[in-house]
Structure 1
């Protein structure tokens, strides 16, 4: 039973992954606290796609409905607070929030997401998640047959071009003046009439996030309907690092097949530990990790 600020599990992050884990645990009557700072990773995106029963829904609507359903389970609490510090006190984990509250738990689940580091290109941030997108599976269908630019490092640009070629025949790869595509890749791109633009982008002319033109350093501009871009990122929370959780070479929290981090008793789910950035994947990882955490807690107390 929960006493004061002591829980079986604290879930840091109350978006899709965190709420999914909370439902899995709440249905097993585990005492769960969700701490949520209110800034989901996909807050810039007007619609969520590729998630059955929720295709084309505003992301906040999905999260609000999920929150309503999860909080019907009486052993699940949610605090609209940002977790700022973490530690280990005796046999328990300790989480401190921006309001000064201190909570303890047997297990931690981090559903904290990642923070995109957008380039300093005029208009880019306004378009991000709307007409500057990162994933053909999440958004590509909506831009089928549209004039499409791919502004990504060369090897990944070639991969995205292969995927997007099934959606449109109006594709250009924008190298930024750093063209490292191989002769074989260039041959295949030419075969599919995919053009190469070896210029640096300085601005994206847009209106309320709808891109109009890409402006280049030589003053020229080309009209596009959508741009695929991949940006660097960092972990949204430093608490896993404080607790000793390792990162992969790509910067994700290192987890095993059960979503366990490198620190016993700590789990990570959703975007912070997977390059598959989608609502469907976040929900799936949360559901599975919740079951694993419940199994561990049950075995430890039985």
Structure 2
């Protein structure tokens, strides 16, 4: 059987793309292993109608709604390879199964590279975050720390005083010139240049001089890359962005390989559940138009 569309990655963007195509009565195969980027968070915020819901519940409800459409096929697996061209793509899973499709959509998401600070990875998504719109409100205007990783950290530090008193921990890796320091001070940001030893408690930062700073929550700018390299191996162009590496797409979400599309965190900046869903919906509609052109 040749599917109209094979969606690689069944998280928020992938399912949103699939929904548009299913509603156009197209045959859609979704292949997904179930590893979501926001799996560490207990709640998802900023998504209209589902604000404060557990990420797993959003995904469960969405999948149940997709499964009401008769032209959906869902496989719980990981994609090992994609080959072919428009109207003749072949997707191979790690289980060794081969599936044919006229179009493919990469909704594979991204992987976060975090600062190598003791205790940080264990707190990611719980007490250390990347998006203030997703997690800032719940800190209840408490003290906020921004752990520096690069230029994007300055942007975070300038933005976060909206949510609480903010300290920018440059950690010895973000040099600040006179103008940037002045901008931060004008926003009321406290600047701490002492390097970080480790994180402890919920959101306590221990510095190399023995000082401990307690925060309601911490933010850091991770560097991202596509969670799978199958799009790149197919020949899709990858671009460097302010947040990391992404699959390059045009305005219709088509990649540099005709007939292959990409959406969600792996193909746009900035990132959030709401933006991923919108991006996926547009990708799905664009793929449908390509099938009838």
**Alpha-carbon shift at residue 14 of structure 1 (Å):** 0.5
Shift of the 125–153 alpha-carbon distance from structure 1 to 2, 3 Å rule, reads: closer
Give the one of 247, 250, 253 matched to 2:247. 253
- Cα distance in 2, alignment partners of residues 105 and 77 from structure 1: 12
**2:10 aligned partner:** 14
TM-score normalised by structure 2 residue count: 0.94
Shift of the 108–197 alpha-carbon distance from structure 1 to 2, 3 Å rule, reads: same
Does the CA contact (< 8 Å) of 1:259 and 1:289 recur in 2? yes
**1:268 aligned partner:** 262
Q: Deviations over 1:65-100 (max 9, x none)?
A: 000001111001110011111111795111111111
**Alpha-carbon shift at residue 295 of structure 1 (Å):** 1.2
Task: Please list every run of at least 4 consecutive aligned residues from structure 1 whose deviation after the TM superposition is greater than 6 angstroms.
Answer: none
Q: Deviations over 1:237-273 (max 9, x none)?
A: 1110111000112211001111111110000000001
Q: How does 1:52-71 map to 2 (within 5 A)?
A: 52-71=48-67
Give the stretch that moved more between structures: 286-295 or 182-191.
182-191
- Cα distance in 2, alignment partners of residues 87 and 179 from structure 1: 42
CA RMSD in angstroms comes to 1.5
**Alpha-carbon shift at residue 102 of structure 1 (Å):** 0.4
Structure 1 residue runs of 5 or longer lacking an equivalent are none
Does the CA contact (< 8 Å) of 1:154 and 1:181 recur in 2? no
Does the CA contact (< 8 Å) of 2:14 and 2:107 recur in 1? yes
Does residue 294 of structure 1 match 2:288? yes
**1:127 aligned partner:** 123
Q: How does 1:1-302 map to 2 (within 5 A)?
A: 3=1, 6-88=2-84, 91-153=87-149, 155-168=151-164, 170-206=165-201, 210-211=202-203, 213-250=204-241, 251-299=245-293
**Alpha-carbon shift at residue 22 of structure 1 (Å):** 0.8
Structure 2 residue runs of 5 or longer lacking an equivalent are none
**Alpha-carbon shift at residue 176 of structure 1 (Å):** 0.9
Other structure's SS at 1:68 match:
helix
Q: How many residues are matched?
A: 290
Does the CA contact (< 8 Å) of 1:12 and 1:18 recur in 2? yes
- Cα distance in 1, alignment partners of residues 85 and 166 from structure 2: 55
- Cα distance in 1, alignment partners of residues 62 and 92 from structure 2: 25
